[in-house]
């Protein structure tokens, strides 16, 4: 990947302001998450709670949601901003969550105080608890086929996050049911794809033994794309006292050109609770994939496809599980603009116009680096489906 400068024509293109703000606020959110994760990993912290579905939620989830909500409302006007997001405030508002709520408020204010570093405006004074709760609860849109809706997953892959591993901050803009902007922050995504096979704590320990060169981008990245541009870009994380430049020395990213299944690397979810690994395993064998799967938390899988580190991502949900739009919107657009193909298992584009769920999804999701691989996977799904136990 060569070093490029983002197409300056994008500055005058449709959604240019929205894209610039989205990239800036995701950079902010990634820095917030890094701080929280550093303090979270290896401690028995009260900063992790369980939601109704037993999935974990942390100080970072709520803090990112509040921060992004506040910034978008400040820039575009709260009356003009509709946000579909994962977290609600019920757990945070309970009497026994007072310490947790205080930690969220402090984290949000610490993050917002650094907004000028990212080219954004900070509040005149620290937000009160009620303002933070309002910012979180404003993210109550259910999307739909009309209008503009921001789609936010504040910490995608919370389980990976609390384990010190991979996670993502995902922000997308949908207009009239179509994803038009996608931004994906991957704070722990190493530049060398081989490191993805190791637990992130081991990777971090090894990195400390051999300090990275200043241009190696060892500390994560932010990817972004705008619909119809035919381009997807990757920026390094903003570290220390650096300021975010826009546009900065981003790299143009492209999907892999590998179209031979025997040479292809495929990703699948780490979490077994909502994925059918057994069907995927059978499909892998029938298609002729030879390499070990890359099991990665969160939308980092989309980042791996977009950047050419892997060629295939398949997810077949267990019975009763419904895919949510915030788990896919940003990643789908970035892969597509980088040259990849994303459909359901029937070969149809994903439909983001029907609320918070990907309604009408045919069996699962297939993400490929190119049309040739995609056709082979779709064919194998049809051949394997009748004999599966899904």
User: How long is the chain?
Assistant: 390
First to last CA, the chain: 40
Residue 64 CA: distances (Å) to CA of 31, 136, 274, 310, 328: 10, 9, 24, 28, 18
- The 3-state DSSP composition of the chain as helix, strand, coil percent (nearest 5) reads 40, 20, 45
Cα four-point dihedral sign 103, 108, 111, 112? negative
Structure tokens given for 91: 């757990």
| Distance of alpha carbon 54 from the chain centroid | 21
- Residue 50's DSSP bridge partners are 56
Tell how far CA 317 is from the center of its chain: 19
The dihedral through the CA atoms of 73, 76, 82, 84 has a sign that is negative
Task: Just list the catalytic residues.
Answer: 61, 158
DSSP 3-state of 208: helix
């Amino acid at each position: 990947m060569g070093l490029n400068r983002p197409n300056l024509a994008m500055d005058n293109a449709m959604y240019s302001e929205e894209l610039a703000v989205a990239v800036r606020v995701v950079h902010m959110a990634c820095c917030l998450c890094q701080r929280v994760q550093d303090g979270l990993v290896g401690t028995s912290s009260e900063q992790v709670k369980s939601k109704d579905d037993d999935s974990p939620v942390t100080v970072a989830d709520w803090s990112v949601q509040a921060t992004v909500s506040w910034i978008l409302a400040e820039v575009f006007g709260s009356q003009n901003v509709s946000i579909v997001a994962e977290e609600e405030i019920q757990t945070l508002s309970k009497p026994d969550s007072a310490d947790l709520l205080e930690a969220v408020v402090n984290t949000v204010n610490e993050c917002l105080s650094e907004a000028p570093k990212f080219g954004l405006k900070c509040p005149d004074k620290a937000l009160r608890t009620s303002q933070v709760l309002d910012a979180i609860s404003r993210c109550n849109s259910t999307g739909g086929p009309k209008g503009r809706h921001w789609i936010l997953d504040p910490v995608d892959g919370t389980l990976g996050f609390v384990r010190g591993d991979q996670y993502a901050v995902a922000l997308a803009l949908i207009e009239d049911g179509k994803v038009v902007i996608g931004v994906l922050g991957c704070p722990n995504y190493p530049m060398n794809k081989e490191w993805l096979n190791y637990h992130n704590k081991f990777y971090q320990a090894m990195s400390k033994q051999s300090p990275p060169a200043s241009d190696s981008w060892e500390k994560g990245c932010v990817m972004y794309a705008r619909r119809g541009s035919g381009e997807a870009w990757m920026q390094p994380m903003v570290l220390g006292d650096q300021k975010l430049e826009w546009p900065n020395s981003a790299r143009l990213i492209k999907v892999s050109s590998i179209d031979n299944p025997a040479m292809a690397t495929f990703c699948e979810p780490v979490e077994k609770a909502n994925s059918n690994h057994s069907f995927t395993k059978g499909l892998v064998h029938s298609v002729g994939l030879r390499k070990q799967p890359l099991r990665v938390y969160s939308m980092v899988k989309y980042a791996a496809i977009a950047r050419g580190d892997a060629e295939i991502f398949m997810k077949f949900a267990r019975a009763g599980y419904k895919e949510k739009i915030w788990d896919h919107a940003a990643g789908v657009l970035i892969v597509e603009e980088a040259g990849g193909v994303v459909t359901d298992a029937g070969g149809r584009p994903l439909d983001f116009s029907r609320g918070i769920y990907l309604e009408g999804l045919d069996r699962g999701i297939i993400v490929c680096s190119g049309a040739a691989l995609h056709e082979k996977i779709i064919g194998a799904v049809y051949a394997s489906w009748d004999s599966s136990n899904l």
